[in-house]
């Protein structure tokens, strides 16, 4: 039997505001309308663009695969941007 997470916790206490701001900026650049005060709500716009019927409230009928498409689009985009930023920083550090 699987356990549902009641809430996500970041490894670094107090980092939530920065992560949310990063998510809002990255998804805005991807062309999604993001409310900076509620960046998690971008998942509904992403779901709509992917044809996934995600809505506020109970989504018990939503398949794990469908939910994964939405989370993967958001998380994958954020990870690609983090890698790009890290590579840029390393490249700039090694220049004389």
pLDDT at residue number 69: 94
pLDDT at residue number 1: 41
Q: Are 20 and 38 in contact (CB under 8 A)?
A: no
The predicted-structure confidence for 7-58, as pLDDT tens digits, reads as follows: 567 888 888 889 889 999 999 999 999 988 888 899 999 999 999 999 998 8
Q: Are 70 and 46 in contact (CB under 8 A)?
A: yes
Q: Are 59 and 70 in contact (CB under 8 A)?
A: no
């Amino acid at each position: 039997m699987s356990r549902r997470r009641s809430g996500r916790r970041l490894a670094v206490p107090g980092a939530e505001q920065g992560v949310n701001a990063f998510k809002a900026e990255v998804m805005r650049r991807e062309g999604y309308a993001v409310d900076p005060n509620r960046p998690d709500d971008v998942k509904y716009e992403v779901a709509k663009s992917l044809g996934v019927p995600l809505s506020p409230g109970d989504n018990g009928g939503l398949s794990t695969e469908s939910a994964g498409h939405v989370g993967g689009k958001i998380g994958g985009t954020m990870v690609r941007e983090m890698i790009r930023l890290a590579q840029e920083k390393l490249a700039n550090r090694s220049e004389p």
